[in-house]
Amino acid sequence: MLQIVNIIPFGPQVSLNPVTGYVGYNSRTQTVVVAFEGTEEWIDDDARWPLVTLDPRLSAGNNFPSYATHGFQDAWAVFADAILKAVTALVNNPNPNAPVKKIQVTGHSLGGAIASFSALQMSLNFPQIPVQLTTYATPRIGSPDLATWVRKNVCH
pLDDT 10s digits, 19-42: 677 888 888 899 999 999 887 665
Return the closest-CA partner of residue 121 out of 85, 145, 67.
85
Domains in the chain (CATH in brackets) are 2-153 (3.40.50.1820)
- The answer to whether residue 8 scores a pLDDT higher than 60 is no
Q: Which residues pair with 52 in a beta bridge?
A: 68
Q: Which residues pair with 142 in a beta bridge?
A: 68
Question: Percentage of the chain with pLDDT > 70?
Answer: 78
pLDDT digits (tens, 9 = 90+) for 109-150: 889 999 999 999 999 999 999 999 999 988 889 988 888 888
- Could you count the other beta carbons within 10 Å of the beta carbon of residue 65? 8
- pTM confidence score: 0.84
As a whole number, the mean pLDDT across the chain is 81
pLDDT band, residue 78 (cuts 50/70/90): confident
Average pLDDT over residues 48-67: 78
| pLDDT given for residue 47 in this prediction | 57
> Given this model, what pLDDT does residue 26 score?
86
Averaged over 8-27, what is the pLDDT?
62
